[in-house]
């Protein structure tokens, strides 16, 4: 994982997991300096019936406290709720900041505008299978957004007009500092949305609506040129790439890898910022 905001350097996020706990550390690739591992965080993976309970995390920079924070979403098996625990770089413990009703969280957290964000389904459950999501659930697809400064959470809505369940789980991330949603439409097109102004739900803008004949099946954006004319996309398997020119509606398929890899792209800002707390 990675985080970059304004003048603050990117810090790579490394997590090591044990059977019932995990730790993380930060690394500045420009200097090669790495922080110590954090205090261990208890993560309840399984209950007495060996049912797996997933946990999610994300991190970013909090300008108000001038420090990095890691946010973990954990399953409280006893109360059947989720809880949020936060660790500030350099602290000796994790803090529980709130509880909220249990619902499935899709993928890892993405940092944008002082918040960490996850795609989620507001249905009462810890678990989900995308193939079991019905049209009745599509309105419950939301973004769960956690504010690092105020340590509060809110829900952001999807773009208007999502009237069908995509055949594959949507890709959610950040593109040019904006929340980004990539999904399949009618099994024929790749549609990419950007939330141009964070937290403003009517600022969702359709960036791409491209037939799969020009792309792969199914694609997600990795990065975009400064003028937004050219978008680099990769297949979900991550083995193939396409350059799509929005201005001329042209695509160019690039050489693919023989082995399957999963690729993600983050903005990188070189800096001497230390991964240790000041």
CA atoms within 13 A on the CB side of 217: 7
CA distances for 242 relative to 54, 193, 201, angstroms: 33, 18, 29
pLDDT at residue number 73: 94
The answer to whether 146 and 155 have CB atoms below 8 angstroms apart is no
The DSSP output letter for 264 is -
Flag whether 40 is in a domain.
Answer: yes
d(CA 89, CA 8) in angstroms, rounded, equals: 14
What is the domain range of residue 51? 12-157
The answer to whether 60 and 116 have CB atoms below 8 angstroms apart is yes
The DSSP output letter for 93 is S
Other beta carbons within 10 angstroms of residue 12's beta carbon come to: 16
d(CA 259, CA 87) in angstroms, rounded, equals: 37
The whole-model pTM stands at 0.88
Question: Shortest CA distance to 273 belongs to which of 11, 6, 73, 47?
Answer: 11
pLDDT at 82 over 60: yes
pLDDT at residue number 4: 47
Q: Which residue has the tokens 């975009």?
A: 224
Report residue 205 as tokens: 């803008």
The answer to whether 239 and 248 have CB atoms below 8 angstroms apart is no
- Give residue 6's pLDDT band: very low, low, confident or very high (50, 70, 90): very low
d(CA 140, CA 122) in angstroms, rounded, equals: 5
pLDDT at residue number 16: 80
- Give residue 48's pLDDT band: very low, low, confident or very high (50, 70, 90): low
Flag whether 117 is in a domain.
Answer: yes
Flag whether 107 is in a domain.
Answer: yes
Flag whether 102 is in a domain.
Answer: yes
Bridge pairing between strands 152-157 and 141-147: antiparallel
- Give residue 256's pLDDT band: very low, low, confident or very high (50, 70, 90): low
Q: How many domains does the chain have?
A: 1
Flag whether 243 is in a domain.
Answer: no
User: What sign does the CA torsion over 191, 58, 242, 195 have?
Assistant: positive
Flag whether 48 is in a domain.
Answer: yes
Strongest mean pLDDT among 32-46, 102-116, 141-155, 243-257:
141-155
Flag whether 7 is in a domain.
Answer: no
pLDDT at 7 over 50: no
d(CA 247, CA 14) in angstroms, rounded, equals: 39
CA dihedral 217, 221, 222, 228 (to 10 degrees): 140
Flag whether 193 is in a domain.
Answer: no
């Amino acid at each position: 994982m990675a985080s970059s905001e304004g003048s603050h350097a990117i810090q790579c996020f490394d997590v090591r997991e044990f059977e019932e706990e995990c730790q993380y550390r930060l690394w500045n690739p420009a200097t090669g300096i790495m922080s110590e591992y954090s205090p261990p965080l208890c993560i309840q993976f399984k209950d007495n019936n060996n049912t797996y309970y997933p946990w999610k995390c994300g991190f970013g920079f909090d300008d108000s406290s001038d420090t990095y924070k890691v946010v973990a979403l954990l399953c409280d098996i006893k109360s059947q709720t989720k809880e949020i625990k936060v660790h500030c770089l350099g602290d000796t413990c994790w803090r529980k900041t709130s509880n909220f009703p249990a619902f499935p969280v899709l993928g890892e957290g993405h940092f944008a505008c002082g918040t960490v964000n996850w795609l989620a389904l507001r249905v009462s459950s810890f678990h989900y299978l995308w193939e079991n999501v019905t049209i009745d659930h599509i309105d419950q697809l939301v973004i769960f957004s956690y504010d690092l400064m105020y340590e509060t959470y809110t829900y952001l809505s999807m773009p208007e007009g999502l009237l069908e369940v995509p055949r594959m789980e949507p890709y959610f991330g950040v593109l040019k500092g904006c929340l980004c949603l990539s999904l399949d439409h009618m099994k024929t097109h790749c549609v990419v949305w950007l939330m141009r102004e964070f937290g403003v739900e009517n600022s969702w803008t359709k960036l791409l609506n491209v037939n799969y004949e020009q792309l792969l099946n199914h694609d997600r954006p990795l990065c975009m040129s400064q003028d937004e004319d050219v978008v680099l996309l990769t297949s979900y398997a991550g083995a193939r790439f396409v350059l799509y020119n929005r201005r001329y509606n042209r695509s160019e398929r690039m050489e693919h890898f023989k082995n399957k890899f999963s690729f993600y792209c983050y903005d990188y800002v070189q800096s001497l910022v230390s991964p240790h707390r000041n």
